[in-house]
Structure formats: structure tokens, C-alpha cells
Chains A and B, each alone.
Chain A
Amino acid sequence: MYTFSSKLKTFSFILMALGLLGIGYGFLTAPKDIQEVEKILAADSHGGHVEVKHEVSSESVAAHAVVADHKEVDLAVEGTEATTALEGHNEVAAATETHVAVVDNHNEVNEAAEHEEHLTHVLHQMQNKPWAALYVACIFFLLISMGVLAFYAIQQVASAGWSPVLFRVMQGITAYLPWGSVIFFVFLILCGLHFNHLFIWLDPEVVAHDKLIATKTGYLNFPFWIARAAIFLIGWNLYRYYSAKNCLAQDESNDDSFYKKNFNISAGFLVFFIVTESIMSWDWIMSIDPHWFSTLFGWYVFASFFVSGITMIAMVTLYLKSKGYLEHVNTSHIHDLAKFMFGFSVFWTYLWFSQFMLIWYANIPEEITYFITRIELYNLPFFGAVVMNFVFPILILVNTDFKRITWILVMAGVVILAGHYIDFFNMIMPGTVGDSWFIGISEIASVLFFMGLFIYVVFTALAKSPLLPKRNPYIEESKHFHY
């Protein structure tokens, strides 16, 4: 049996506390109105766009002043020389200039309106920022535990001979699922109650003025959307609950009936999962950009959290192994996990590139905007994610000896997990905060909070059941697995 070390417990509490503080700070410092936004933009050096606007408007003010001076001079001339010949001319000149001034004023009004519109736009982005930061971290950790659950179900159905010694580790990690689901579901409800503006199609004002979204309301409407989310989350949690329960019951059983039951529900779950996963990716991620659509998006999201899930299994296994709790896990098991990390990193890249290249090549305006936003505003995170999730793992994990070395795996795992956080960041941030993005206190604190919760829940669950299944039909093979 594993006992939750008090140091790790304290560490997870510290992470949660720091995270909560940071999240609170993020919400408190979000601007309330456009005056604040103006101040922030004036103080901010990278608000180049706004500075240009300011210059333009001050220039026009200066021009107006010059015109006014000129007019005064004209009037003075008119006063001194009361001759009729010049009068008419001057009147014309004065009239013209007044006209110019009016036009100028008109331009200024336009510019002021535009400026205000711009400020409102930025305000919405900045108000979205702490929400979006929370959302990215929340969905990232929820989907990591889903990735582990999918991997676990696949191992059951495939009757894998190597992995049963790791089943309890996987079950421990998926124990985060109910917690993550509840928090995530509450978050979705808050979105529906208009606490934030992450999903613009939830705003009736936007839908009323947007024909494209209006035609999608049959699918994208709050009751249907939240009902789908509830069904998916309940379905996944039911599988997790019964699978873990059966696995424990199999320990005390006299035959393999619970094993067979688990086999069957795992097969059923995988069918349910692949359908719901696809819809989930449209609902929770793609609908942030409701004008954009991509067919392989579901697979792409799947690849991203599946590789993160496998990496998380490897990380937790390495930790428990280093503490001496997994006596039957040898370097061959670790090697196998590392192969999966490697393989699915490449798979993620394949889908990332396929999605990007098809859209880049055809360059259809309604699709390409998605990538233009990302390349122009998120250049470093967009391409950095490819380096972290592809170039780094492929060069490190291609070596078979490296796949057995703990510190190399931990390093690769940290880079992969961070890379896939960035990947989710890239999927969600451009549609919610646009160019107001920054990885600052809100973002880091959200990750810290969920990481602390994740560690606390996972290791509490690991301490509740023995780390080695007893009567699994493949457990002997798994104990002696070597590659």
C-alpha cells in the first residue's frame, strides 16, 4: 500500500493556495471599464496599435487648430479691409474653411467612436483573460485524466500483457476525473450565465447580428450544449467508477467474471468515448471560434491529451518507483511507456501538420483566418508548441537507451506536458483574448491550482488501494515483462 507522503501533501496544498491567490489577483486586476483599459494601453509598451491611433487623432487636432488660426486671420482681414471686392472671396474662403472644419470634426467623431469601439474590444479581451486562463488549465487537467482513462480502456481491451502492473497507477490518475468534471461543468454553467464572454455564441446580442452563428443555433445553443456536456461527463465518470470498482472486486474474486465484465464495459466505453470525444472537441474548444471549422479537429485534440495522459502515467510511475512502491515495474515497462510517449508525440505532430498544411495550402479565407491570427499574434507559442511536442521528444526519445533513464524521461515528460499546455493555450486563447495574451500571473496561477488539486486527488486515491492488482489474468506475465 502506498502512503501519501506528508511532504507531497503539503506541496499540493501550497500549489493550490498559491494558485487561488493568483487566480483571485487575476480577476481583481482585470479592467472594469474602458478608462482603465486606456490607462493600461497607454502604460503598455506593446500597445503599438493604439499609439498609432493616438498619433492620428492628435495630428488631426493639430490640423484643426491650424485651420482655426487661419480662419481668425481671415476674419481679421475681413474686419480691417471692409471692401466689397474682397468680402465675397473671404466669405467663400471662410465658408470653405468652416466646411473643412466640420468635416474634420466629423472625422474626429468617427475616430473617437472607433477608438471607443477598439477600447471596448480590448476591454472584453482583458476581462476574458483570467477566465480563459482558468479554462485552459481546467480543461487541460480534465483531459489529461481522460487521456489516461482512454489508455487504460485500450490496455484492457487489447489484453495487454505488460501493463496490468500499472493499472492501479492509471486508476489513481483517473480519480481526478470526477473532481475535474464537476469544476469544469460549473465553469460551463458560469459561461452560460454570462459571467464571462469566452463563448461568443452564448451571447444573444452577438447571435442576433451574426448570420453565420445564427444558422448554427440549432447546434450551438445553451440548453443542448450543457446537456451534451452533462451526458459526456457522466458517461466517462460512470465508466471510471465501475471499472475501478470491478478491478478491486476481481482481487477478492474466485473467478475471472469481474475481469470479463471490465473487458466488456471497456470496449463499450471506447465506442462511447470516440464519439463523445469528437463532439466534446467541437463543443468545448472549436466553438470558441464559431466561424471556423475543421474536420480532423477532434482527432487533433485527442492526440494532444492522449500523449499528455501517457506522459502523466510515466511521470507518476517514475515517482512511485523512485519511492520504492512499484517493485514489479522494471525498466521495460518504463521503456514501453516512453515508446508510447514518443509515438503519440509524432502522431500529434502528424495531425497538427495535416490540419495546418491543408488549410495553408488551399488558403480559403474563411478557414485561413484561424491560422493567420495564430501566426501573427501567437508566433512563439504556435511554433514553440511544435518544437516542444515534436522536435524535442523525437530527438531525445528516439534512442532506446534513453527511454530507460529516469532523468531523461522526466525531462522529456515535463517538456511534453508543458508543450501540450501551450497547445491548448493556442487553441483557446486567440478566440477569447486575441492579442491581449500573456503568460502571466493568471495563467501560471491557474495551472498551479489545478496541478495542486491534481496531485492531491491522485495521490490520495493511490493511497486507497494496493498498487498491484491481485487476480488479473495477465498480472504474472506483466510482472515478468521484459523487452
Chain B
Amino acid sequence: MSNKVIYAIYNDDDILMDAVKKTRAAHHHIEEVFSPFPVHGLDKAMGLAPTRLAICAFLYGCVGISVATAMMNFIMIQDWPQDIGGKPSFSYIQNMPAFVPIMFEMTVFFAAHLMVVTFYMRSKLWPFKQAENPDVRTTDDHFLMEVSVNNNEEELVSFLNTTGAVEVKVIEKH
């Protein structure tokens, strides 16, 4: 089965935004949009679901503060409650102000790093990953919208030509 897609290439982000809106209004399925920089409002125009990365980060932060608390409670209070410079180590709460800087840093550390790792995993990014850009110009000054073809190639090409595309290509994908 042939799996064709159309690459519509634009050279302005405003035209791209209009094209995305028109394409969505005409009920053509946009597979992907490639852009050299973040286009404000593009995700909304494409109808993408909002990211849940912030929720992940909050939960990772909770993990971080738990790790810090459990660690210091075990080391400083349970395992070897030594008198160090007169600091009260009878219970965690008594010596808590001294632990707060670490609790704070661990919360930030966990939230930040685990969120970044989550982002890499969800976006499938890693050092030796094969680059996926369909046209090298999309990293420089061109925008590319990839639209799937469902036996309506002629109609789709002519439609995309009306949206201000500087170039429309039909590509066989495998």
C-alpha cells in the first residue's frame, strides 16, 4: 500500500498559521509541522493537547523532597544522632531549619532533571539519534507542513497551493 504524504513548504510563519487553520477547517489531517523556531500559538492552531510536563515536574519535586527528608532523617536523627555544635538531633522537626536548604535543592534538582529526562524520552531525543528533518531548509528559514493523503492527491495539492505555499511536494513514505 502506498503511503503518500504532501510536503507544503512556506517561508513565513504568519502564512503558515493561516495555512494550518485553513487545512484544519477543510478537515485534512496534518501529520506534522516543521519550523526553525517556536511559532507562538501554533500548537493551539493545530489543536494539540496541552503538555502535562508541568504535572510531572510537580510530582518529581514531591519525590525530591521526600528523598531529602527520608535521607536526612535517617542519617542525622535515626542512625547516629550525634551532638554537632549543640544542634538538637532528638527529632527531625527540632533540627529542621538546618535541613531546609538541602530539602529545597533536592526538590528543585529532582523536579528539573527528571522533567528534562521525561522530555527527552517523550520527544525521543538522544545523542546518536538519526535526525528526522524532511527538508534541511526547515532548520533555517522555511516552514513545512506534512499532510496525509487519502486518495485525494489532486484535490489536496491544489488546495495547499491556495494556502500560500511556496512549494508543494508529494512524497512516498515507507
Contacts and interface: CB of A to CB of B under 8 A. Distances in A.
A398 B98 CA distance: 26
B159 interface: no
Interface in A354-373: 356-357, 360-361, 363
Contacts of A360: 97
A357 B97 CA distance: 6
User: For the complex, would chain B's binding face be called helix, strand, loop or mixed by DSSP majority?
Assistant: helix
A195 interface: no
A357 B100 CA distance: 9
User: For the complex, would chain A's binding face be called helix, strand, loop or mixed by DSSP majority?
Assistant: helix
Contacts of A11: none
A407 interface: no
B97 A361 contact: yes
Contact of A361 (B54, B58, B98): B98
Contacts of B127: none
Contacts of B97: 353, 356-357, 360-361
A389 to B, nearest CB: 16
Contacts of A356: 97
Interface residues of B, number: 6
A294 B155 CA distance: 75
B58 A398 contact: yes
Contacts of A357: 97-98, 100
B38 interface: no
Contacts of B100: 353, 357
A400 B52 CA distance: 12
A353 B101 CA distance: 10
Nearest to B58: A398
Contacts of B134: none
A363 B88 CA distance: 12
B148 to A, nearest CB: 32
Contacts of B98: 357, 361
Contacts of B58: 398
Nearest to A359: B97
Interface in A361-400: 361, 363, 398, 400
Interface string B60-90: 0000000000000000000000000010000
A360 B98 CA distance: 9
Contacts of A353: 97, 100
A151 to B, nearest CB: 27
Contacts of A398: 58
Nearest to A360: B97
Given A361-B98, A400-B54, 10 more contacts: A353-B97, A353-B100, A356-B97, A357-B97, A357-B98, A357-B100, A360-B97, A361-B97, A363-B86, A398-B58
11 contacts: A353-B97, A353-B100, A356-B97, A357-B97, A357-B98, A357-B100, A360-B97, A361-B97, A361-B98, A363-B86, A398-B58
Interface of A: 353, 356-357, 360-361, 363, 398, 400
Q: Which 9 pairs from chain A and chain B are nearest by CB?
A: A357-B97, A360-B97, A361-B98, A353-B100, A357-B100, A361-B97, A356-B97, A398-B58, A363-B86
